A and B are shown apart, each in its own frame.
Chain A
Amino acid sequence: MICDSDLAREFWELGKSDSCPIYDMHGHMGRWQGIYFPRAETEQMIGTMDECGVRLLVFSHHDALLAPDIGNRSAVEAVRKYPDRLRAYCVVNPNYPDRAMADIVTYEQNRDAYVGLKFLPDYHGLPLTHGDYRAAWEFAAEGELLVLTHTWKDSELDGPATIRTVAERYPRVKLLLGHSCHGDWDAAVSLARDFPNIYLELTAVFDDRGVIEKFAGEVGSHRMLFGTDLPWFDPHHAIGVLLSAAISDEDRHNICHRNAETLLEPFLRANMLEEAIHDHETS
């Protein structure tokens, strides 16, 4: 049954937990050039979320990441189709600063769909400190948005040293380290200790035994976030890892939902207020 805990029993029996909903803070959607996905379409992903007890997925669409001619519109459409299950990061591709600026200008119009920005420096080829990211950083800082950025050990574009620079520069941004500087776990710990606005996002970390315990012990589970790259990785695998790791059910609650609920509260609350105003005006 993986381990002796109430949550383990619940997930083992049912595949999900009423008391421990999952907020997946690092998802995607749609096709990707280098991998076969059995379940890449929106409805298929919702099916997976239902089975695993994922209440909300915050994602960036693959089209927005790798097809600048399509951009973010697929993500906005998906959120508006499933507003109770999905939120999106607005992808900023610094190779097209004019389009990035257009997305920022129109961000307000899509505020019901977005919770922040997504950067993918190792793929887009420019460091997070590059000038073509500046407008996006400043916009995120002004709005105190979430920024989920890909991070990886040794990368000059999004590795620990670069993260330290932008964390110092933009303390108002809630900075989510996608993959937690994958492979340089000590650096991820140092960054999270030094900057209260940094969170350790766990996509692909689940495949390395011991890191969950290290982060929980050296930083604290209140700074860790559940993520799977869905439709890449099965959420049940990630949940099974959290149940395997030598941490408490309280830690698991923090990682699976409490921390995300706190981070998302301003954005979901704003959306709910707007929906209430809209409902009032149309009634």
Chain B
Amino acid sequence: MADKSPEPTHFFDCNVFVGSPAYQRPLLPVPKAGALLAEMDRAGVDRALVWHIAQHDASPQAGNRLVVEAIRPHERLTGCWAVLPTQTRELAPAPLLFRQMREARVGALRIFPSVHKFVANGVSLGALFGELVDRRIPLFVSVRRGMDWPDVYALLEDFPDLVCVICDHGSWGMDRLFRPLLERYQNVHVDTSQYLLDGGIDDLVTVYGERRLLFGSGFPESYFGGMMLALRHARISDQAKAAVAAGNLERLLAGAEL
């Protein structure tokens, strides 16, 4: 028999959504927070940073409202809002926006430039994102939904100090695309949700350190357990596992000045 692995660290999932996708009904929908929490309990996931699919499919206004309603009764859930360029004045301006986030227990932001039809660079986002940089508010971007790699590169070129987590970067081997960003920009991170690469976790942590990788499942489109088991048995230290599983996300959220 092999030696037992260390007891599990607790898991804080950085990449979870709730709600009903408009464009295709999923095989196993998770429309409400209650269903999400039931799945988290079954898997052993303690906390989650949650966005709402309506933020992408419908509008940030509708989705931001829905995610606040979803997380309000559940301390284990932290919200993530979607934002737009400020020029069209569709969301609250910067100081008010951050206060609303704090009051609603929303700790981070997302953008979906392709479907929301804007360019993610300094021209469009400079007024707001300058504040994000100064306040170290984490921005989550998804390569699966809303951003392509040239968009991510352009965004970081204009905001090199942005605290950014690149999610859903693709299961078919994207290291040559995201590792240059990890090397150039010290506040860039990636999540695990599609990092299925055999030996990827070990290699990434060895090269870039444990602080640059965050546990994210991609739930409900992916299962919690896949990357949980991969992380638990990765060839990295217990300290590194704890950082990836929860500590890094806790640090990023705690570092934000809202």
Contact = CB atoms under 8 A, between A and B. Distances in A.
Interface of A: 1-4, 11-16, 18, 32, 34-39, 44-45, 48, 51-52, 185, 204, 206-211, 213-214, 228, 230-241, 243-245
A247 B59 CA distance: 36
A268 B26 CA distance: 40
Contacts of B220: 209
Contacts of A14: 1-2, 4-5
Contacts of A206: 196, 223, 226
Given A2-B225, A209-B28, A244 B173 contact: no
A16 B8 contact: no
A111 B233 CA distance: 36
A150 to B, nearest CB: 13
Interface stretch (B101-109, B112-120, B197-205, B250-258): B197-205
Given A37-B198, A48-B199, A236-B232, 16 more contacts: A13-B4, A13-B5, A14-B4, A35-B172, A35-B173, A35-B176, A36-B173, A37-B173, A38-B197, A52-B233, A213-B28, A214-B27, A232-B173, A237-B226, A240-B230, A244-B223
Interface in B164-188: 171-173, 175-176
Nearest to B231: A236
Contacts of A236: 229-230, 232-233
Interface of B, secondary structure class, is loop
B228 interface: yes
A39 B229 CA distance: 18
A14 B230 CA distance: 12
Interface residues of B, number: 39
Interface string B2-19: 101100100000000000
B194 interface: yes
A86 to B, nearest CB: 16
Given A12-B8, A234-B200, A3 B225 contact: yes
A240 B226 contact: yes
8 contacts: A1-B44, A2-B43, A15-B5, A38-B202, A206-B223, A210-B26, A232-B196, A244-B224
A11 B229 contact: yes
Interface in B197-249: 197-203, 219-230, 232-233
Interface string B32-69: 00000000001110000000000000000000000000
B248 to A, nearest CB: 20
A96 to B, nearest CB: 26
Given A3-B43, A38-B198, A207-B194, A233 B171 contact: yes
B166 to A, nearest CB: 16
Contact of A230 (B198, B200, B202, B219): B198
A234 B225 contact: no
Nearest to B26: A210
A63 to B, nearest CB: 18
